[in-house]
Chain A
Amino acid sequence: MSTIRLLRGDEITGPGRELVDRIREREKRLFGKDDLSNIWRAMAHHPEYMRASWERSRAIMQRGKVSPLIKEMVASSVSIVNACHY
């Protein structure tokens, strides 16, 4: 069980709302899932932090000359070393 309550999609209002809709749209395309991923549901308690993390994620993973596939492979490797189940 997470150490912080995960917000449900309908509980996220205010400055984080529009971003959450964008994230959900992208996740539907990538993972074929309808619900917002748990990591964003946790971050949504702090909308500015969520936005900064999302924008950095897009900048690092989607921009540049290294292919997204190689970046995903590096990301998976780092997560394995850190034994991060998520």
Chain B
Amino acid sequence: MRMKVDETGITELVGLVDHVTGMNKVAFGFFLEDETDAKKPLLSYPSDDEIETPVREMLAEVNEIESRRLGRPGVPKYWKLLARNRHYFESTWKKHILLLDGKGIDPMGKLAMGLGVSVTNGCRYFICYFSDALRTDGWDDSRILEVLGVVDHYNSFNTLATAMQIESDIRPKH
């Protein structure tokens, strides 16, 4: 990593990759494709009486933040499905807003990373999520294609380096 990002920023970057990868896998597990997909997910959406009061309050916050982020009203299906389990939902949502909305590395960079990770993991639901968030922030197709180009290029270089078992000769600058 040769960017002008400090140790906290690098930890945040790695944390975001860890977080998005986990969410990608669970979106697979839920069979979620995108917000408009009418197919039944793995689990049913909890009814109001199946959601504990603190979670209902947090869902109002999810609605506010995610509606702004994605440029459309409503709680994303992913969070609705998670809401059945209070502790899992709360800890995941807190981590999500900490990593995506906390003061650290460039917020656009975080969304672009989320897109890159989701494309690499082949997760359609979060590809839609992060590209919608970037578009809401004014990104057009040409910028999104640039990110896909980086994903392509680095998946390609990673494959080469792994296939040839090339040892890294670039040392971290610290």
Contact B3 A82 (CB under 8 A): no
Residues on B with beta carbons closer than 8 Å to the beta carbon of A30: 2
Given A64-B143, A73-B3, A78-B150, 18 more pairs with CB closer than 8 A: A38-B166, A38-B167, A38-B169, A39-B157, A56-B153, A60-B150, A60-B153, A64-B146, A66-B146, A70-B147, A72-B2, A74-B109, A74-B115, A74-B154, A77-B16, A78-B151, A81-B121, A86-B162
What is the interface residue range for chain A against chain B?
Answer: 35 or more
On B, residues with C-beta under 8 Å from A are: 1-5, 13-14, 16-17, 21, 105-106, 108-110, 112-113, 115-117, 120-121, 142-143, 146-147, 149-155, 157-170
Contact A70 B13 (CB under 8 A): no
Does A17 sit at the interface, judged by CB under 8 A?
no
Residues on B with beta carbons closer than 8 Å to the beta carbon of A84: 157-158, 161-162
Contact A86 B149 (CB under 8 A): no
* Interface class of chain B by DSSP: helix
Contact A80 B147 (CB under 8 A): no
- In chain A, positions 16-51 with a C-beta closer than 8 Å to chain B are 30-31, 33, 35, 37-39, 42-43
Does A13 sit at the interface, judged by CB under 8 A?
no
Contact A73 B21 (CB under 8 A): no
Contact A78 B117 (CB under 8 A): yes
Contact A65 B4 (CB under 8 A): no
Residues on A with beta carbons closer than 8 Å to the beta carbon of B146: 60, 64-66, 71
Residues on B with beta carbons closer than 8 Å to the beta carbon of A72: 1-3
